[in-house]
Amino acid sequence: MRHKLDRADSLNPSRARPLRIAPTSPPAAKNKGDNMEFMPLKGIRVLDFSHVIAGPFASHYLAQMGADVLKVENVNGGDVMRRNAKGPRSYLAFNAGKKHLALDITSEEGRKRVLDEVARADILLDNLKPGTLEKNGFGPDDLSKINPRLIYCAISGFGREGTWSKRLAYDHVVQAATGMMLMAGGEGDPPIKTGFPVIDTATGIIGALAIVSALHERERTGRGTFLDVSMTGAAMQLMYPFACEAMTTGESPSRVGNQGYSGSPAADLFSTADGRIALGVNTPKQFLALLGVLGMLDAAENPDFFEMPIDASAPASFLRSRDPAALKAALAERISAWSGEQLERELMEVQVPAAQVQRIGEFAEQALRQGGLARVRLEEGEDYVHSPGLGFRTRQL
């Protein structure tokens, strides 16, 4: 696919053409879980002034659910993702199924085209530099006079209210600002960035949820809504239980490395003979199952670890130990002699959550092979990218 932007596109709607979406398997064998037949937003028109990741990911969801998305890009090269170092696949992944339009919104022709599109649109999505559209007369209050049913979704780094409203952001900047970098790792470690744009993608998902909710609300009221979606707000949603604790007590949680949320000494990362394995042993019942596999059942009655012997029939609770460090060390010594694959397999058989640490490519290959992941092919011409879909599956009831 040639990702060309042509100034003539601003005057010729026929030049704005969509990327084609096709499943990887023949229609008769297609898995409905890939959402290809799930089109609840068919007929909804979206005017998309977004770029990079957060905004395009929000409109990606809308497009994949059937909305007619017109992505407006500047005439000087368009979305920077077109020239991403990873090549056209990143741009294609976020923007498949959308029509693309190069437009100079400061020109007379460009302004007229925007206003014409607004009059017919259901949704306007904006994650340009805060104030860019308002400066050109395309703010929510201006456009609501033209189309009272318009849903205007503004995505920004720090929100459109308060003294930070003009502050610019990227994913790693927001990870630093919100404390996320000091959630990973252990006490004393330097700040650690999550290795993928987690806040960008979460912001896009929240934006799509807000838009779909506003569409439902419009059915009741007949009026549009202004939606203020921020990357900092998305970050707080991702850290929700810790954010609630911090907002309630004013205190920040300690860094716990790879330990699970429960705080159980058996819910952590352990070294095996050939790698590492994450265990999700949170309850006494799961702990006894783990001890059975490891041949350590006597540890359940060891007074050095527990005040009272572990009882699997007791009400469900998180596992607690008198000496968590010593218990973890004892488990680590035994686990270090196991192969990761064998331990993972045996723990799965006794219903103990466990997974070897692996790369995303390894997981994707395994998940596709065993049916836990559906693959959707997004393509046009010779360019294509395989997508994991929308993260959920559907079937008609």
Task: Report, as residue numbers or ranges, the catalytic residues.
Answer: 200
Structure tokens given for 34: 């890939």
CA 309 to chain centre: 42
Structure tokens given for 349: 């058989």
Give me the half-sphere count of Cα atoms (radius 13 Å) on the Cβ side of residue 365. 5
Measured between alpha carbons, how far is 289 from 78 in angstroms, rounded to an integer? 56
Structure tokens given for 75: 């005439």
Residue 310: C-alpha distances to residues 303, 323, 329 (Å): 11, 14, 18
73 with 100: CB under 8 angstroms?
Answer: yes
Helix axes 171-178, 198-221, angle to 10 degrees: 90
Strand 20-23 to 99-102 pairing:
unpaired
Residue 384 phi, psi (nearest 5): -155, 165
